[in-house]
Structure 1
Amino acid sequence: MTDLKILVVDDEEDLCEILQFNLEQEGFTVDTAFSSEQALKLELSQYDFFLLDIMMGEISGLELAKIIRRNPDLADKPILFITAKGSEDDKLKGFNAGADDYVAKPFSVKEIIARIHVICKRVFTTTQKEISFEYEDMKLIPESKKVTINNIDVGLTKTEFEILQLLLNHKGRIYSRDEIMHKIWEGDTFVGDRTVDVNVRRIRKKIGEYHKLIKTKSGYGYYFESLKQ
């Protein structure tokens, strides 16, 4: 899938130019910004994909990602961090900020392109059975890919929505981290099991009091508590 418009945000202008050239050679449409502040002056809803550096000016890439995720029009758009901060804690901070993936510098452009294709295959392809769900004030609406509480969209990303949908479609069935990775990130060899934990933690936070319905079976995995409807 190459008919995407990508925004690259990095304060290294040379790196932006390299990424723009190579991504355009791949068939993508690419714009660049050299700071979060510059990016925020653009009409972000025109972009399908964001490549963000973390260490930038007054507004970091992490903060920019959070701003993107808070915007309902952008909440489902993929975010890939490209950064020199590559520790496990740094990666977890990136995923907590809403990233779909994380690449540490130095990296190869081929790796960036491969990761973009893998993310796009996952994010822009729907494979799960469309099953509606309603419990008290929480509703999962497959047609609009939303989860609402009191008719207010809780703002799940596509990945978060698909994980919750998977658990809801098979209430009471325990899914290991490996099973969730295989079903949600099919073919993506870059994803680790901690990514599953981060996404489940974000889902629990967003669904408020209903977080208690997503159970953890120690040593096995996650499941949604089977309820009498």
Structure 2
Amino acid sequence: MARILLGDDDEELTQLLQEYLHNHGVQCDCVHDGEAVLQQLKAVSNDASASSAYDLLVLDIMMPKIDGLSVLRQLPTISDIPVIMLTAKGEEIDRIIGLELGADDYITKPCNPRELLARINAVIKRTNAVHSEHTLLPDSRLHLDQTQRLCQIDGIDLHVTGTEFDLLVALLRQKGEVVSKSSLSENVLQRELQPFDRSLDVHVSRLRKKLQPFHDEPIKAIRGKGYQLVL
């Protein structure tokens, strides 16, 4: 059974989601402010027991004590747990900032429990994907170890999120070719590309910045078509 941490100050909503997720095979622990989220993750990171580990964090942006975006900023020093943000409808800037800070996905409130479950399963599936192959494509400076989900460029370790890793795999497998946004959305984000959804673009932009010390333009945006890895 997957285990997640849900941080949201709406106790009625969290109880509803907790019951729904439990009935669909997901154990859900709930806390109601940003400070409690960080404390809970710190406690789990100090616990050597594998049974205590969380597979994913669902994080509301608007929370007391410490808001969700501030939690995201502090998260890398505590855990590499994947994150789905809960954002208010219409608050696009919060979604973009959250994705830039390393969140894997988002869903707007009020959320449909069934859609949230689908997003949770998709992110966990991507994060836990383990392949027997040890990927090193010819003539590439990038070395992607799919077993350990580690990335190196020119022998230097590169920290990437789970979503960024999967983007690299998809782009590297078709290096030099233009990969459509719809293909990347379906294969990496596990959903159809929607009009005005900038999630994929933000993930690519964040990944491009990490690669730029090694190449001026590592990922080209081909207008109206998609993205091309040229590194």
TM-score normalised per structure 1: 0.81
Amino acid at match of 1:219: G
Inter-partner Cα distance in structure 2 for 1:217 and 1:112: 32
Q: Is the 8 A contact 1:5 1:48 kept in 2?
A: yes
How far the C-alpha of 1:217 sits from its partner, in A, is 2.2
**Percent of aligned positions that are identical:** 34
Amino acid at match of 2:169: Q
How far the C-alpha of 1:6 sits from its partner, in A, is 0.7
Q: Decide which of 209, 215, 224 is 2:220's aligned counterpart.
A: 215
Amino acid at match of 2:55: D
Alignment of 1:28-67 (within 5 A): 28-42=26-40, 43-45=43-45, 46-67=53-74
Q: Decide which of 189, 198, 203 is 2:202's aligned counterpart.
A: 198
Q: Is the 8 A contact 2:182 2:193 kept in 1?
A: no
Q: Is the 8 A contact 1:51 1:81 kept in 2?
A: yes
The equivalent residue for 1:92 is: 96
The equivalent residue for 2:110 is: 106
Post-superposition Cα deviations, 1:124-154, rounded to whole Å, max 9, x if no partner, equal 3357964225866x64333321123575533
Alignment of 1:63-82 (within 5 A): 63-68=70-75, 70-71=76-77, 74-75=79-80, 77-82=81-86
Q: Is the 8 A contact 2:132 2:147 kept in 1?
A: no
Structure 2 residue ranges without an equivalent (≥5): 46-52
Inter-partner Cα distance in structure 2 for 1:218 and 1:108: 33
Q: Decide which of 6, 19, 24 is 2:22's aligned counterpart.
A: 24
How far the C-alpha of 1:92 sits from its partner, in A, is 1.7
The equivalent residue for 2:176 is: 172
How far the C-alpha of 1:93 sits from its partner, in A, is 2.1
Amino acid at match of 1:142: Q
How far the C-alpha of 1:59 sits from its partner, in A, is 2.0
Query: Considering only aligned residues, what root-mean-square deviation do their CA atoms show, in Å?
Result: 2.8
How far the C-alpha of 1:110 sits from its partner, in A, is 2.3
Residues 183/190 of structure 1: CA separation in 2 closer, same or farther (3 Å cut): closer
Residues 129/201 of structure 1: CA separation in 2 closer, same or farther (3 Å cut): farther
Q: Is the 8 A contact 1:131 1:169 kept in 2?
A: no
How far the C-alpha of 1:111 sits from its partner, in A, is 2.3
Q: Is the 8 A contact 1:128 1:166 kept in 2?
A: no
